[in-house]
Amino acid sequence: MNLQADAQLFAPCPRGLEDALAAELAGLGAGAVQAVAGGVAFAGNTRLIYRANLESRIATRVLLRLFSVPYRSEEDIYRAAYDFDWPQRFDVARSIRVYLTAQRCPLKSLDFLTLRIKDAVCDRFRSAVGSRPNVDTRAPDVRIHAFLDATQFTLYLDTSGEPLFKRGARAAAGAAPLKENLAAGILALTGWRPGTALLDPMCGGGTFLVEAAQIALDIAPGSARAFGFEKLKAFDAPLWSGLRAEAEARRKPLAPLPIYGSELYGDTLKLAQANLAAAGLEQAVQLKQANALEISAPAASGVLLTNPPYGERMGEQQELAEFYPKFGDVLKQKFAGWNCYILSADMNLPKLIRLQVSRRTPLFNGALECRLFEYKIVAGSMRSPKPAKA
Ligand SMILES: C[S@@+](CC[C@H](N)C(=O)[O-])C[C@H]1O[C@@H](n2cnc3c(N)ncnc32)[C@H](O)[C@@H]1O
């Protein structure tokens, strides 16, 4: 995989973050950048593939497109997969796994198709080198992603390996941790910039805080992990170590930052502490145990970004119905001059919080449809009227 010319690439991401990812990849030097539902198609050489893996905060993976062909039958899929020169890409000693995603595929069993693609790769190896790679469903060396639509079969090599939201540093997850790339993408949507105060008053395991501190200190999100491309035959070790060294040289010295987190429960705050410590960032972020209804602003202006608990049970919904209006009061009384962003799957939140929403951005937290609600708080204003009592 040492590509002088540009290869066709695709980076999936959480839905709702496609434009933010397109801008990020363009900033890394990607060509032909095109945001589509669920990800970004782009073009680039080996250097760009390595950089996108090392530096993209928003992509879930970086996939290298191998081919795309029309198909009608299982046999067409087997044949196209067999015809690809797999032994040229990786050694038979590498373990593999095939992943398959289909939309409007007319063929019946996707599990069977996945097996047929795996068989085709193994058969190709057997005929070329006399043995076949092992399958490892848990930690494969090489991941192969197949996409089927109604007529077209597309195959990708995964250059990332483990998904990119696994930064390699999270020590412990809280009750409902956000994926790191979703958190980083949301930070991009808020327009927050290092130097501006950032507060998460319901910080849980501290995902927003870790991502923000890494952005502020210019720490490459992939600097503490390994990648799938290291297992491929054409791995260019000197190019890779050069890129890592360049990223390392840009890293700013550790210092206290205007990034603040608070959390109601001491045990959960310990998780945030552990996650910051695992990323070497505990000195950079200021944490404290506090009720979000009793906080005050740590600076005259800034960005408040939070992901409050989401009530699935009736009792929790009742608690939240009481919590949101009080939290709205706190924002209005204590956060004049701040831009506040609340990520929630609770579509009743805007009605209950009774502040005027200036923007609502649809996002997906996994399969859960959410909104990022934006509230620009100015002194003494913008209370939306109390809903009339039934
Ligand atoms: C959905 S979780 C946040 C997850 C976090 N974004 C992460 O990625 O780990 C919501 C958090 O709000 C905390 N919380 C609930 N009520 C609170 C309150 N009144 N004040 C402060 N924190 C509160 C919960 O303990 C929980 O950790």
311 lines ligand 1 (CB under 6 A): no
Task: Give the pLDDT score at 165.
Answer: 97
Strands (E), 241-351: 259-263, 285-289, 302-306, 338-344
Determine phi and psi for 377, rounding to 5 degrees: -95, 120
Please report the pLDDT score of residue 369 as a whole number: 95
Beta bridge partners of 369: 364
Per-residue pLDDT tens for 43-95? 999 999 999 999 999 999 999 999 999 999 999 999 999 999 999 999 999 99
Say yes or no: CB of residue 53 within 6 Å of ligand 1: no
- Cα torsion through 296, 298, 303, 305, rounded to 10: -60
Per DSSP, helices labelled H in 73-109 are 74-83
Ligand 1 site, residue 265, Cβ cutoff 6 A: yes
Per-residue model confidence (pLDDT) at position 390: 35
Higher-confidence position of 116 and 348:
116
pLDDT value at residue 316: 80
Q: How confident is the model over 151-194, as pLDDT tens digits? A: 999 999 999 999 999 998 767 766 678 999 999 999 999 999 99
Burial state string for 224-237 with b = 16 or more CB within 10 A and e = fewer than 16: ebebbbebbeebbe
Nearest CA to ligand 1 atom 27: 204
**pLDDT attached to residue 379:** 80
Q: Please, what are the domains in the chain?
A: 7-158 (3.30.2130.30), 180-217+252-376 (3.40.50.150)
Residues 6+ apart with CB under 8 A from 27: none
C-beta 365 within 6 A of ligand 1: no
More confident residue, 5 or 310: 310
| Average pLDDT for the chain | 94
> CA-CA distance, 377 to 383, in Å (whole number)?
10
Q: What is the pLDDT of residues 210-242, one digit of tens each?
A: 999 999 999 999 999 999 999 999 999 999 999
Q: Residue of the nearest CA to atom 26 in ligand 1?
A: 204
Helix axes 180-190, 18-27, angle to 10 degrees: 90
pTM, to two decimals = 0.94
